Structure 1
Amino acid sequence: MYTNTIDIQKGLGQPHVLGAMRRFAEQQNLSEVADRAGMKSAQILRNKLLPNQPHQMTIHELVSVSRASGNRCLVDGILMELQCAPSVALQQLTDANKTSLTDRALEITANTGQLSSIALDAKARCGVTERMRHEAVQRASSAMSELAVFCYEIEKHCLSSMLSIATSSLPSEQQQSVLS
């Protein structure tokens, strides 16, 4: 029932966090990230991404490293450990207009198609490799983020359409006050 505190500190009871730390180390140039995050050296960052090291990453370092890299997989690993959905960057919502709904739907479909392929591979092998697990988590996280932005865009589009219809019968000065 109770987990050993040392195991938690070392991340041994947190497989999503451990996987995220591994993914982050594989995907990023740690020298560049450490420099942009204001860390003394890339080796310090490498060590903090290893679960068996005595010095673990602080929450402030996690924020700095995530901002410096633009990679949210560490944050997503923590959220998954807490049984929450992956994060959606506010910038994705701001940039949503740059991608058409059709292109966004195609991106979602591509990610879910890759998930289907991974599932078929896992079924054929009767198991999941570490690489397959990481790929599935990355694809699923990406698809969920894209779906959240897709929903946001649909709601925004429908709301502006409803406002246009509702205000079209009003005199022009009242339309301006409603839309402001």
Structure 2
Amino acid sequence: MDANIAMCELRERKQQSYNAVCSDFAINHNMEELAKRIGVSGTMLRNKLNPEQPHVLSPVDLALLCKESNDYTIINTLLGDLGLVTAAVPVEEQSRNFVERVLEHSNLTGQLSGNVLALYKESRYPRSQKRKTLAIAQAALGNLVLLISDLENRTTGMSPLLSMGVDFIANGAPLPGLA
């Protein structure tokens, strides 16, 4: 019996969070432009994001909407209470080198620290500021994913073996037949 009560409380809290994030999403984005890009009418998209309407945002529409807007707050809100964190991996930033990634991470964590420092004494955390802080944290996670990927690519395959071999020879290792 208690499990059913707890499930209903989770459902109600999650539904309220979902409704709030959908409303914020509709306010923060151009619905007509996004609707064209995902293949639905602007009115239908607004109705799907409006909790007062009977229309429901399907998972496929949600995925398309998040991808086209590059705003994953709805998905992050849904997954947040489950203990899951998503990280958007920016495709266009694959060309950055290792040092640039580390510096970008320092920049994003500094912004995050500044936001937290400015708001830690506040009794109420405004929803708009919460969304901005979460966006910075998500960008930092995406950057970390790319940093990890870069490190993995540098330390797998033949590259490390060749690199170690060059370092070994360059540092004065004797070569058979030449020593």
TM-score, scaled relative to structure 2 = 0.74
2:15 counterpart residue number: 11
Q: CA RMSD in A?
A: 2.8
Partners of 1:164 and 1:108 in 2: how far apart? 29
TM-score, scaled relative to structure 1 = 0.73
Partners of 2:128 and 2:12 in 1: how far apart? 24
Partners of 1:106 and 1:19 in 2: how far apart? 34
1:118 counterpart residue number: 115
SS at match of 2:111: helix
1:139 counterpart residue number: 136
The alpha-carbon deviation at position 58 of structure 1 amounts to 0.8
Residue 108 of structure 1 contacts residue 143 of structure 1 at CA under 8 Å; is this kept in 2? yes
Alignment match of 2:127 (pick from 127, 130, 149): 130
1:67 counterpart residue number: 67
- Describe the shift of the 1:157–1:53 C-alpha distance in structure 2 as closer, same or farther (beyond 3 A): same
The alpha-carbon deviation at position 5 of structure 1 amounts to 9.5
1:173 counterpart residue number: none
2:95 counterpart residue number: 98
Residue 11 of structure 1 contacts residue 18 of structure 1 at CA under 8 Å; is this kept in 2? yes
2:51 counterpart residue number: 51
Percent identity over paired residues: 23
1:35 counterpart residue number: 36
- Describe the shift of the 1:42–1:147 C-alpha distance in structure 2 as closer, same or farther (beyond 3 A): same
Q: 1:101-132 CA distances to partner (integer Å, 9 max, x unpaired)?
A: 22222222222112111211222323311122
Residue 21 of structure 1 contacts residue 49 of structure 1 at CA under 8 Å; is this kept in 2? yes
Answer with 159-168 or 145-154: which moved more.
159-168
2:146 counterpart residue number: 149
- Describe the shift of the 1:52–1:107 C-alpha distance in structure 2 as closer, same or farther (beyond 3 A): farther
Question: Between Structure 1 and Structure 2, whose CA radius of gyration is higher?
Answer: 2
The alpha-carbon deviation at position 35 of structure 1 amounts to 0.7
The alpha-carbon deviation at position 151 of structure 1 amounts to 0.8
SS at match of 1:111: helix
Alignment match of 1:2 (pick from 1, 4, 7): 7
Q: Which runs of 5+ in 1 are unaligned?
A: 170-180
- Describe the shift of the 1:117–1:38 C-alpha distance in structure 2 as closer, same or farther (beyond 3 A): same
The alpha-carbon deviation at position 166 of structure 1 amounts to 6.7
- Describe the shift of the 1:167–1:81 C-alpha distance in structure 2 as closer, same or farther (beyond 3 A): same
SS at match of 2:156: helix
Partners of 2:131 and 2:37 in 1: how far apart? 26
The alpha-carbon deviation at position 61 of structure 1 amounts to 1.3
